[in-house]
Amino acid sequence: MSDAVEAVRYEVHDGGWAEMVMARPPLNLYGEELENGLIAAVRRAAAERPRALIFRSDCDVFTAGVDVHGFQHHDAEEYRRVNGGGLQLTQALEDLPFPTIASVHGLCLTIGLELSLACDLLYASDDARFGLVERRVGISPGMGGTQRMAERAGTARAREFVMTGGLYGSEELMGWGVVNRVFPRDALLEETRALALDLASGPTLAMAATKAVIREQADNGTRAADARIDELTSHLIETEDSKVAVKTFLEEGPRAKPVFVGR
């Protein structure tokens, strides 16, 4: 089933996974309408807790970025307010306690890329082109893209990516560690949905713990993650999924396929 949320559709699928779909043709330009729709969709996902979420576009491109018309009347205070809301959206998507996948085709610029980098995994079509092109209007990305690019690709490549304002293909960014997989455009959605279904059938609480451990390492380093590993993972042995999986393993062997329910 699907519910219209302004320029964003939130679709729930059999198997426990959902999609957050940008649908503001022709270019999915990011402005108040798209932002409000994305905020509503992320809030719904946080409340309903699907076991996996795809972030994608229904237009010919993923997004051509921010609608620059809005910049004409911004002073620093207004720009700070707008950026703060966008950064909160980035962080809210990043903090969802289940696997998230960005499925990107065509052009993916500015806030669309910043949000994609907040997802756990990034699948892309072979024709996808990515850019943080804010230099074209004399600014620097303010919604988290620079630092998340550095987290995935390293600081040297993040500097190049943002400072040049160039467009980079999906294959090159896969080599950088930014994109996880590249598929022909006509196969991208099928492949992404297959991944979402697979992740949604897994031990959801264990995946949430994995996200928390990796976040701790990224934020504070490996030894900080070591210090919190018991806190973040030891409870998993008492979950319903772990108990069923252990029982199934002992009864059926290592090739057993336990049915996880996400609890």
| pLDDT in the model for residue 70 | 62
For residue 68, what pLDDT is reported?
66
How confident is the model at residue 160, as a pLDDT?
Answer: 98
Q: What integer pLDDT is reported at residue 255 of this predicted model?
A: 86
Burial 67-76 (b: 16+ CB within 10 A, else e): beeeeeeeee
Cα separation, 225 vs 201, whole angstroms: 27
User: Tokens for 35?
Assistant: 């932002």
Residues whose CB is less than 8 angstroms from the CB of residue 65 and which lie 6 or more positions away in sequence, other chains included = 29, 30, 109, 110, 111, 112, 133
pLDDT value of position 158: 98
- Condensed to tens digits (0 to 9), the pLDDT of residues 93-133 reads 999 999 999 999 999 999 999 999 999 999 999 999 999 99
Closest to 133 measured CA to CA, from 146, 123, 152: 146
Token pair, residue 54, equals 């795809």
Question: Is it the case that residue 2 has pLDDT exceeding 60?
Answer: no
Q: Which residue has the higher pLDDT, 83 or 40?
A: 40
The pLDDT value recorded for residue 76 is 72
Distance CA 95, CA 31 (A): 23
Q: Which tops the pLDDT comparison, 171 or 84?
A: 171
List beta partners, residue 93.
none
pLDDT digits (tens, 9 = 90+) for 9-50: 999 999 999 999 999 999 999 988 999 999 999 999 999 999
Cis? peptide before 50, omega within 30° of 0: no
pTM, to two decimals: 0.93
CA–CA dist 119, 94 (Å, integer): 6
H or E element at residue 62: none
* Residue-level pLDDT at 4: 41
In angstroms, the first-to-last Cα distance of the chain is: 24
Beta bridge partners of 192: none
pLDDT of 179-219, one tens digit each?
Answer: 999 999 999 999 999 999 999 999 999 999 999 999 999 99
- pLDDT at position 127, please? 98
Whose tokens are 């970025």? That residue is 65
- The amino acid at residue 190 is E
pLDDT in tens, 130-181: 999 999 888 889 899 999 999 999 999 999 999 999 999 999 999 999 999 9
Q: How confident is the model at residue 66 (pLDDT cuts 50, 70, 90)?
A: confident
Which pLDDT band, with edges at 50, 70 and 90, does 77 fall under? confident
Contacts of 117 (CB under 8 A, 6+ apart): 102, 144, 145, 148, 149, 152, 178
Which residue, 96, 25, 15, 101, is CA-closest to 61?
25
The DSSP result for 69-90, as a single string, is GGGGG--HHHHHHHHHHHHHHH
Which residues 6+ apart lie within 8 Å of 249 measured at CB? 256, 258
55-64, 80-89, 106-115, 228-237: the lowest-pLDDT one: 80-89
SS3 104: strand
Q: What pLDDT, on the 0 to 100 scale, is given for residue 198?
A: 97
- Report the pLDDT value the prediction gives residue 180, as an integer from 0 to 100: 98
Q: How many Cα atoms are found within 13 Å in the side-chain-facing hemisphere of 155?
A: 0
Sign, CA torsion 59/60/65/68 = negative
